[in-house]
Chain A
């Protein structure tokens, strides 16, 4: 086991190199501003940066916006809506990237209070995508005087934008010598803008990576400096291609510099309450984490081995749910051989859950950094499962290398993993072959060619250009080339609305099929993770129960995104006596903590009902935003059949007994009928039953959410929420009229 006290510090960049870089910087434009201090979690200011005009403007956030949209994702969506129109696409100059951290973000007394939310029109989905990320930037932006940042227009050359709160300046600069790959670029900019080693803690960088220039799944890295290791580390705003938009605007990086994090920069309403709530939480982590999930030991990858026991791991492109090689990459293996133990691995100050694990001085075997030793952040569960079992890879060293390159190149590990798994299945089925892939052997488990594919994506070369498209466009391309049948690829290509699935196999949980399919941004589990409640606990057996869960959880979880909170401290640790509460799965004590934090910061008392209402306003706004962009109706909530049931024969045979039994117990066939049916007939009957049941689920969920059966929020529902805004009514009224509502 590697302990942090045995890990040597990373080499700093030499003064000579930094000097050369600094000398080549060209100051294009500079603005001064007066820093607005935070009051009860808000500055009520937004910074708009126009990359084309090289302008920076500070504006007030109107009180009505604050009241209805709260902050974080709410602000991002509100400002994005105002910037775009129905024909805006990801690369239109008016498309914006909007970031906001939310009112609670930036406190340091409780775990998981440093998240930034980011929205843009996605190159994968053509609708708004939201992504949340740790690291320093969002909270520092608040400390620099801004509740939100809008990035609009396009620069003609690569620029960095520096927000320096210590001098009250915003500058546009060219920085030609700095690298593009995130692990190097973030280190370089941190060193360049910090006065000294200690000051590196005061610099936050946002950067994509070289592959984000070409790949629709390009993501953004947010830095946080690790003083113990002496290295700049990275967290990712992964989903939906925000990095691609960032690079399309020719932003090389954003830098925010402050003069230090202090205990009460949010100038909260009741610091005593926040301190008290924080102490209780930290004590709980110290006492219980090792007996529960061991987040401090292995991070979220703790669940990999155990999820295979429930058939939930997305093995071989979600074909199977167990994972034959999983014992080679269990949490114990990662802990023993790869992840440094004992480090304060929080991605924001004060997060004692410390799940941002790292593999230190990891020796790279491929690519442009071959032979170098680097700090690899993660892998988190999603990365480990998507880059590993989804592609038939079970070697932790290979998974870590793929994870590292995804991060530094600026590729979303989830989309990359799911997309590569799709390509591997295409290879298995003869849709692809060596000739079509430019010599790559994309057989299951071939990590070497998986990595080579990624290096080609970063170089925009050969088949790497096809991989860069993402599954949705690949399917159309393969069909157009006559290589594969579109209907068949639609069945096993794990994307919906254009976004690749995150890494849970939902075949045995109808509620989770909805948890993926009935999301706003596309199939990401952050709205609703219901597999256990449904498949294992059987707590939501009826359509009505599932619909209630698919109403409540997305609203509850949206609230984290309004506040700038990390979801993990809600339920990846629970109080020792949680089992004795009325509703253990909700972790009532933690919900109470969140209400106290909200009150402690803003001075406003809310209850859980109001918490849900705050979210519901933004959730419905996002749904209507999707409709406005042309993709928010029932037809768009359809899911690939692979998500609901077995597409191919070997997939059915893998759990033949289960599927046969379900035909009897759930679908109404007699045992004799099932016995007399051929494999194809049983598969067809299973499909018919499962597809029908998904439609029944939708019929139950939409009315619960206050939507019509076509998925359109009703005027009455908006009125109840106080969201009957004219711009929303303008979008929905013609559709409601068509439905006769």
Chain B
């Protein structure tokens, strides 16, 4: 699986978008998540199971200053 254009070494069977966000401490409040180019909305994070071939983007939008 790819996370943000890099190989995601911790992929495992049953891994969800929420797991990826938690494992990577992605705590930023404005995330745009796309699986294979399709937007995943926050309410779908827990139910979206990731495949080994998925291309996941967790884009942190800018903010501050």
A309 in contact with B25 (CB, 8 Å): yes
Across-interface contacts of A585 in B (CB, < 8 A): 59, 61-62
- By beta carbon, the residue of chain B nearest A536 is B60
| A302 contacts B by Cβ under 8 Å | yes
Once the chains bind, are B65 and A529 in contact (CB under 8 Å)?
A: yes
State the Cβ distance, B29 to closest chain A Cβ, in Å: 5
Contact with A along B45-65 (1 / 0, CB 8 A): 000000000000111111111
Cα separation A587 to B28 with both chains bound (whole Å):
17
Q: Say yes or no: A306 contacts B5, CB within 8 Å.
A: no
When the two chains form their complex, are residues A584 and B63 in contact, meaning their CB atoms are under 8 A apart?
no
Q: Is A567 an interface residue (CB 8 A)?
A: yes
Docked-complex contact A293 and B29, CB < 8 angstroms: yes
Which of chain A's residues has its CB closest to B65's CB?
A: A525
Q: A300 CA to B60 CA in the complex, in Å?
A: 16
What is the bound-complex CA distance between A95 and B43, given in angstroms? 57
Question: Is A292 an interface residue when CB atoms closer than 8 A count as contact?
Answer: yes
Q: In the bound complex, do residue B29 and residue A526 qualify as a contact, i.e. CB atoms below 8 Å apart?
A: no
Scan residues 4-37 of chain B and give those whose CB is less than 8 A from a CB of chain A.
Answer: 4-6, 25-30, 32-34
**Size of the chain B interface, CB-CB below 8 angstroms:** 23
Render A293-308 as a binary contact track against B, CB cut-off 8 A, 1 for contact.
Answer: 1100000101101100
| B29 close to A533 (CB less than 8 A) | no
Q: Which residue of A lies closest to B60 (CB)?
A: A532
CB <8 Å contact, B27 and A306: yes
Q: Which residues of A contact B61 (CB under 8 A)?
A: 532, 571, 574, 578, 584-585, 587
Q: A587 to B63: give the CA distance in the assembly, Å.
A: 11
Scoring A294, A306, A381, A502 by chain B CB atoms within 10 A of each residue's CB, the highest score goes to: A306
A293 touching B27 by the CB < 8 A rule?
no
Among B4, B29, B60, contact of A302 (Cβ-Cβ < 8 Å): B29
Residues in A whose Cβ lies below 8 Å from that of B62: 529, 532-533, 571, 585
B65 touches A502 (CB 8 A): yes
Instruction: Return chain A residues, CB-CB under 8 Å to B34.
Output: 579
Query: How distant is A488 from chain B, measured CB to nearest CB, in Å?
Result: 30
Instruction: Point out the residues of chain A lying under 8 angstroms from B25, CB to CB.
Output: 309-310
Evaluate contact between B4 and A572: CB separation under 8 angstroms: no
Binds B, one of A537-545, A610-618, A648-656: A537-545
Chain A residues closer than 8 Å to B4, beta-carbon distance: 536-539
**A residues within 8 A CB of B33?**
579
Q: Which of B29, B41, B60 contacts A537 (CB 8 A)?
A: B60
CB-CB under 8 A from A536, the residues of chain B are 4, 26, 60
Within 8 A of B (CB), among A269-295: 292-294
Asked if residues A538 and B65 are in contact (CB atoms below 8 Å), the reply is no
Most buried by A among B4, B6, B26, B29: B29
Asked whether, in the complex, the Cβ of A381 is within 8 Å of the Cβ of B64, the reply is: yes
**B5 to A303, Cβ gap below 8 A?**
no
**Which of B30, B32, B60 sits near A293, CB closer than 8 Å?**
B30
Contacts of B32 in A (CB 8 A): 578-579, 584
Which residues of chain B have C-beta atoms less than 8 A from A539's C-beta?
A: 4-5, 59
B27, B29, B65: the one contacting A381 at CB < 8 Å is: B65
Chain B residues within an 8 Å CB radius of A584: 32, 59, 61
A538 to B6, CA, bound (A): 8
Most chain B CB within a 10 A radius of its CB, from A293, A526, A529, A579? A579
- Give complex CA distance A473, B62 in Å: 34
Q: In the assembled complex, which residues on chain B have CB atoms less than 8 Å from the CB atom of A300? A: 64-65
Nearest to B59 among chain A residues (CB) is A537
Contact B59–A303 (Cβ < 8 Å) = no
**Contact call A526/B28, Cβ cutoff below 8 A:** no
A382, B27: Cβ atoms under 8 Å?
no
In the complex, per-residue mask of A703-717: 1 if CB is within 8 Å of any chain B CB, else 0: 000000000000000
Shortest A567–chain B CB gap in Å is: 7
- Are A382's CB and B59's CB within 8 A? no
Q: How long is the Cα–Cα vector from A647 to B25 in the complex, in angstroms?
A: 26
In the complex, how many angstroms separate the beta carbon of B2 from the nearest chain A beta carbon?
10
Closest to A567 in B: B65
Q: Is the CB of B27 within 8 A of A305?
A: yes
A300 to B29, CA, bound (A): 12
> Which residue of chain A is the closest to B31 with respect to CB atoms?
A579
A529 touches B27 (CB 8 A): no
Complex contact A579–B39 (CB within 8 A):
yes
**Nearest chain B residue, comparing its CB with the CB of A577:** B39
0/1 interface trace, chain A 513-533, chain B, CB 8 Å (1 if under): 000000000000110010011
A532 to B31, CA, bound (A): 11
Which residues of chain A (534-583) have a CB below 8 Å from chain B?
536-539, 541, 567, 571-572, 574, 578-580
Residue among B59, B60, B61 having the largest count of chain A Cβ atoms under 10 Å: B61
CB closest chain-A residue, reference B30: A292
B5 touches A541 (CB 8 A): yes
Q: Is the CB–CB distance between A526 and B63 below 8 Å? A: no
How far does the alpha carbon of A529 sit from the alpha carbon of B28 in the complex, in Å? 15
In the bound complex, CA of A303 to CA of B4 (Å): 22
**A303 to chain B: closest residue by CB:** B64
Task: Return the chain A residue nearest B40 by Cβ.
Answer: A579
Interchain CB contact (< 8 A) of A303 among B6, B58, B63: B63
Q: Contact between B65 and A526 (Cβ–Cβ < 8 Å)?
A: yes
Q: Determine the distance from Cα of A533 to Cα of B57 in the docked complex, in whole angstroms.
A: 12
Which residues of A sit under 8 angstroms from B26, Cβ to Cβ? Answer: 309, 536
Q: What chain B residues lie within 8 Å of A302 (beta carbons)?
A: 29
Interchain CB contact under 8 A, A309 and B27: yes
- Give chain A nearest CB distance to B65 CB in angstroms: 5
B6 touches A292 (CB 8 A): no
A569 to B65, CA, bound (A): 11
The interface residues of chain A lying within 8 Å CB-to-CB of B63 are 293, 303, 571-572
Find chain B residues with CB under 8 A from A537 CB. Answer: 4, 57-60
Cα A739 to Cα B47 in complex, Å, equals 60
Known A-B contacts A382-B65, A571-B61, A572-B63; the reply to A306 vs B29 at CB < 8 A is yes
Other than A309-B27, A578-B32, give 14 A-B pairs with Cβ distance below 8 A: A292-B30, A293-B30, A303-B64, A306-B29, A309-B26, A526-B65, A529-B64, A532-B61, A536-B26, A574-B30, A574-B61, A578-B61, A579-B33, A585-B59
Using CB atoms and an 8 Å cutoff, list the residues of chain B in contact with chain A: 4-6, 25-30, 32-34, 39, 41, 57-65
Closest 10 A/B residue pairs (Cβ): A532-B60, A579-B32, A309-B25, A306-B27, A538-B4, A538-B5, A579-B39, A584-B32, A309-B27, A572-B63
- Chosen A-B contacts, 17 in total, with CB atoms closer than 8 Å, are A302-B29, A303-B28, A381-B65, A382-B65, A525-B65, A536-B26, A536-B60, A537-B60, A571-B61, A571-B62, A574-B30, A574-B61, A578-B32, A579-B32, A579-B33, A585-B61, A585-B62
